[in-house]
Amino acid sequence: MAVDYDIVVIGGGSGGLVVASVAAQLKAKVALVEKEKLGGDCLWYGCVPSKSLIHAARVAYEVKHGSRFGIYTDAPKIKFEEATGYVQSVIKAIEPHDSPERFRGLGVEVIFGSGQFVDRETFEVNGRQLKARSFVVSTGSRPAIPPVEGLQEAGFLTNEKVFSLKERPDSLIVIGAGPIGCELGQSFHRLGSQVTIIASRDQIMPKEDPEAAAVVQEQLESEGIRILKNSRAKKVEIIDGKKCLWAGPKDGEGEKIIADEILVSAGRIPNVDSLNLEAAGVQYGKKGIKVGLDLRTTNPRILACGDVIGGYQFTHVAGYEAVVAVTNAMFSPITRLKPSKANYRVIPWATFTEPELARVGLTEQQARERYGDDVFVLKQPFAGVDRAQAENATKGFGKIITRANGEILGAHIVGPSAGELIHEVVLAMANKLPVKALTGIHVYPTLSEVNSKAGLLLNKQKFAKNEGLQNFLKGFFNFMRSR
């Protein structure tokens, strides 16, 4: 069957742009279909704007608390519109890398429009029918909106709207205590909003190590952020121009919280509704499109990557999956027999609250469930790292989980620059290096010593448990002294 393209990419977010770029540079004929703007959630509504706002908020916090270092200033004057203007300027600076002009320059045909599959081998957009050897779906996800009575009528913010605000809300309710809710809740509080975070479970960021999440919660509460745990939003009303939200445990009406704005951060849902995947023979569910480790769908001509397949919903994972998908899509005669496969053993991620929280691999509980007694927990507090003491950033710790043979099973860092420090452990895990590889020379004084100090703890713990070795060494040194 004659086709128009080697590959048609549906969705111009992080994953789709990697697929299109790689395929075009390999001289394939590529079409990239995007509903709105290239760059996806990460550029416009996610990673880039949130980290920019977080930085602005951190500057405000440092100025306000400069007395810790003997630096005294007047209370900072925060011009919220200028802070969000800074956010938009960062987006503008990064946007050219994801621009239609750049991709057209690579030879990609960029098509803007909302399309759908009409059969197993045809995607229709703007009245055109696109046929290709392979398709890659990378349409991302969108905020999940909980079915709270009165929420739609009262109005609310999501990550798609919050960075365009011109005026700071004096008070803000955040529904959801995951990474986005905690990051934005802390940022808005530091920029002057009174913030309440509603957490549905007994800990914030429930996917994280409980000890690490507790350190972040302690910091948020110390700054004046109120956190309601084991609570759910029940209903919302507008009373005297304010948004009144009732929240509490599952049973009962709960308490009334009054705020200017409500930010919904209650998870994500995949963007599959408009694609007519049934016509293409592609199976999907609530969590997204169903794929194998080769990222092929139930229609082998169609692959998918990024948020739309659920799993790890991070920009860096979408980029990684895109490489697997484009390899299998481009060279399908070969990869059908020996496909490239996604390996999720070593996937790091970070939450950019202060303190930051980063992790890779298994939690302590997961490790014990899998390996029983063959688990060692190497925990190094930042209070024992001299650089952290010098910068008054001693809250938190590095925790590395290993087996007796030194195999690293996972790591959790909560503290200053955790999102940077985790990569040393990621490199070791990816290359299957033992934990002793982390104990090499580190520049003094740096925060990275948290990893080397933690790595040293395995031999210390094993020695403490080995009474036979201890007795042998006592005898040996007694003998040497008596000679």
pLDDT in tens, 331-376: 877 777 789 999 999 999 999 999 999 999 999 999 999 999 999 9
- Strand boundaries in 45-127, DSSP class E: 109-112, 115-119, 122-125
Cα 83 to chain centroid distance, Å, stands at: 23
Whether 151-266 and 348-467 share one fold: the answer is: no
Residues in the chain: 483
* 348: CB partners within 8 A, 6+ apart: 316, 358, 359, 360, 422, 423, 426
Query: Model confidence at 1, in pLDDT bands (50, 70, 90)?
Result: low
Largest CA distance in the chain: 95
212 close to 219: Cβ distance less than 8 angstroms? no
State the architecture of 151-266 in CATH terms: 3-Layer(bba) Sandwich (3.50)
Domain boundaries, the chain: 5-38+99-143+269-335, 151-266, 348-467
For domain 5-38+99-143+269-335, give the fold.
FAD/NAD(P)-binding domain (3.50.50)
Q: Name the one residue in this structure whose structure tokens are 């798609």.
A: 160
This prediction has a pTM of 0.94
- Residue-wise pLDDT for 166-214, tens only, equals 999 999 999 999 999 999 999 999 999 999 999 999 999 999 999 999 9
The whole-number average pLDDT for the span 55-61 is 97
User: What mean pLDDT do residues 208-228 have?
Assistant: 97
Query: What's the CA gap between 173 and 222, in Å, rounded?
Result: 18
CATH classification code of 348-467 = 3.30.390.30
- Cis peptide preceding 445, ω within 30 of 0: yes
User: What confidence tens digit (pLDDT) does each residue in 235-281 have?
Assistant: 999 999 899 999 999 887 789 999 999 999 999 999 999 999 999 99
For the chain, the average pLDDT equals 95
Q: How confident is the model at residue 75, as a pLDDT?
A: 86
pLDDT at 150 over 80: yes
450's enclosing H/E stretch is helix 449-465
Q: What is the pLDDT of residue 360?
A: 98
Which residues does 134 contact at the CB level (< 8 Å), separation at least 6?
6, 7, 8, 301, 302, 303, 329, 330, 332
The number of beta carbons lying within 10 Å of the beta carbon of residue 79 is: 11
Q: Is the dihedral of CA 175, 180, 182, 187 positive or negative?
A: negative
Q: What is the mean pLDDT of residues 205-232?
A: 97
Q: What is the pLDDT of residue 251?
A: 80
